[in-house]
Amino acid sequence: MEKAGLKDSYQNAETAYTVPGMAVPSQWTKTGSKIYVKGSGSRLTAIDGIEYLDATSCGLTNNIGYGNEELAEAAKAQMIKLYHVPNFGGRVSLPFIELTRKLAEISPMQRFLIENSGSEVVDAAFKVARLYWRIKGLDKFKIISLERAYHGVTFGALSAMGVPMFACPSFGPLVPGFLSIPTPYCYLCPLGKSYPSCGIDCAQALERAIEKEGEDSVAAFIGEPVQGGGGCIVPPPEYWPKIREICTKHNVLLIIDEVITGFGRTGKLWGHEHWGIKPDLMTMAKGLACGYMPIAALGITEEIYRGITQSDNLFLHIHTFGGHSVACAVALKNIEIMQRENLTERAAKMGKYYQERMAAIEKKSPYVGNAHGIGMWGRLQLVANKRTKEPFDPKKQVGFQLVARLLSEKRILVGSFGDDIVMGGLPLTSSQEDLDYLIDAFEWGVGGIEP
């Protein structure tokens, strides 16, 4: 079958049989998706043979690049040896044990629950937080998150959602006991203040919320070191130390969501290391196996673990495929490769260059108000007026058009948050040439914006 006919055949099958994970239902059968058939390094090949530079890293998952044969071989070997035993009912596999031991070596956590996705381990974190306090005889159940936060789409994770476009009110009512506070977004401060004279009031908002709700009712605060779904928002240096201090003062557990920021994306192995804090619970997922297998983990400190083991009640958080033997084997090999090839250090070095060039675009363009990213994760905040920070008229769809132009004319896949933030994050294995091509394309793209 000719390429055009093959493409049409699969495109028709997609609209006939699939249910997209993130799309407007009324448009499902009208738009369709771009179908990809091959990946190599930093590039994806579509069904029509056109190659694209993937500056989304497969949803900021693929730190190690496409087509890694070592990971494929690790999966094959484990499938043949023992493809899976569930990590409950008194059964575990060797890769499961080896992975938890490795995670204890490279993270500040001591105990690990292995699941399939970031949403699942976020839910697990909420369960553990509530369980921990109730074993102590305290009915602390409320979870505080940030506005613009994205922690997943299971009902627990969705209840902590702070991104309006992902809130999906039709799914309600959601889980009770969740509330949010303003995000640490200095460029467009939701509190109307200016850094550094603000006194980091966004962090103080947590203390005000705890005091309003009652310390005896708040179980945990959850946040990403750098907000991902909210648009790559990097908080000020004082933010996370102040949050850690407030949580400790009020006996509130600190859950750090490292689903995106973990495994080198920011130029450090864990995003929270930039701020020198230690979480009580920590979620991780995307970079754990770089999408080669679905796997995620919840890390727990020994203190929290000892606390929950005082209960004689059943801890019910099981998934048939949680701790999957093949996924664990692939994650172990992925960590080995990352360490051997010094990918975190590479991300720090290339990330410094990336951020310097993005800052130059901000300085040059009248339509880029802010380009403050981190490591191998860049952002462009688009504005109609740089002085007033006035956004573009949403009807013009300036951001969406920029994303579309980069795809069609430069053959680059980039991400966006709404219509005003465009983001790019290449695999950590990408070449300098790929990074320059992406940055040059960003500069070209914003240069073509019409007011």
Distance of CA 161 to the CA centre of its chain: 13
Buried b (16+ CB within 10 A) or exposed e, 108-122: bbbbbbbbbbbbbbb
**Boundaries of every domain in the chain:** 34-55+342-447, 69-340
Burial (0-12, 13-18, 19+ Cβ within 10 Å), 165: exposed
Same fold, 34-55+342-447 and 69-340: no
Per residue in 136-183, pLDDT (tens digit) is 999 999 999 999 999 999 999 999 999 877 777 888 899 999 999 999
Give the rounded percent of residues in the chain with a pLDDT score beyond 90: 85
Per residue in 201-235, pLDDT (tens digit) is 999 999 999 999 999 999 999 999 999 988 999 99
- Ramachandran angles phi, psi of 424, nearest 5°: -140, 130
What six digits make up the tokens of 164?
Answer: 């309006």
Dihedral Cα 256, 259, 262, 264, nearest 10 deg = -150
Per residue in 295-354, pLDDT (tens digit) is 999 999 999 999 999 988 888 788 899 999 999 999 999 999 999 999 999 999 999 999
pTM of the predicted model over 0.85 = yes
Per residue in 250-260, pLDDT (tens digit) is 999 999 999 99
Residues 6+ apart with CB under 8 A from 263: 63, 269, 284, 286, 287, 288, 290, 335, 338, 344
How confident is the model over 386-404, as a mean pLDDT? 94
Four-way CATH pick for 34-55+342-447: 3.90.1150.10, 3.40.50.620, 3.30.470.30, 3.40.190.290: 3.90.1150.10
Q: How far is CA 382 from CA 368, 379, 413, 417, 450, in A?
A: 5, 10, 18, 11, 12
Sheet hosting strand 281-284, strand order edge to edge: 111-115, 296-300, 281-284, 253-257, 218-223, 142-146, 178-181
Q: What is the CATH class of 69-340?
A: alpha beta
Residue at token pair 């692939």? 330
What six digits make up the tokens of 63?
Answer: 């730190």
